[in-house]
Amino acid sequence: MNTPSRPDVAGSSSLPDLRAPGIWRRMACWMYEGVLLFAVVFMAGWLFSTLGQMRDAMDPRRPLLQVFVFVVFAVYFSWLWSRGQTLAMKTWNIRIVDRFGRPITQARALLRYVLSWVWFLPPLAVLGPLHLGGGEVAVLVAGWVAVWALLSRFHPQGQFWHDALAGTRLVPSND
């Protein structure tokens, strides 16, 4: 029986490499994902506003549009993560697996999606009542994102904490 600590015939460990890619690579992937999401938001917004006959940005159904985009993002990420990668992750040679290196289920991907909102919700919740300008909000949100990313240095395998809570890992892709 091949034990996890004993090398296999080829001389490498029989367990997959579950170390996190470097923080700069993961954050570059994160930024690229944000760029790609512009297309997803555009298509979702166009579909919603066309079918809903929305005429302007002050339409009272705007909160419904936000919920719709949230659900579209949930479908987008759960679908692609359960298959191992988004386009941005393929570009940066990163894939997502569970704690044991197996592909994740759609339910686990959905849990990761919900937990990943920790990148944005805490600063937005604090900033909401302050009525700051757009530039100030951008600086404060960017500061929170940097802090949250750097907190991964305190995780034993260097994973983001929402991944640890969701039971997922970002690992280098073998492609």
- Strand ranges, E, within 33-150: 94-98
pLDDT of residue 73: 96
Tell me, yes or no, whether 3 lies in a domain. no
Q: What is the pTM of this model?
A: 0.79
- For 34, the token pair is 């944000």
Share of the chain above pLDDT 70, in %: 87
User: What's the total number of domains in the chain?
Assistant: 1
Is 151 domain-assigned?
A: yes
Structural domain span for residue 123 = 23-167
List pLDDT tens digits, range 146-174.
Answer: 888 888 888 888 888 889 889 999 999 87
The pair phi, psi for residue 170, each rounded to 5°, is -95, 125
Rg over CA atoms, the chain:
19
- Distance, C-alpha 140 to centroid of its chain: 20
Residue keyed to tokens 């990943």: 116
Q: What is the pLDDT of residues 2-38, one digit of tens each?
A: 444 434 444 444 556 678 888 899 999 999 999 999 9
Domain assignment of residue 130, yes or no: yes
- At 68, is the secondary structure helix, strand, or coil? helix
Counting every residue written for the chain, the total comes to 175
Residue 15 domain-assigned (yes or no): no
Residue 38 maps to a domain: yes
Percent of the chain topping pLDDT 90: 43
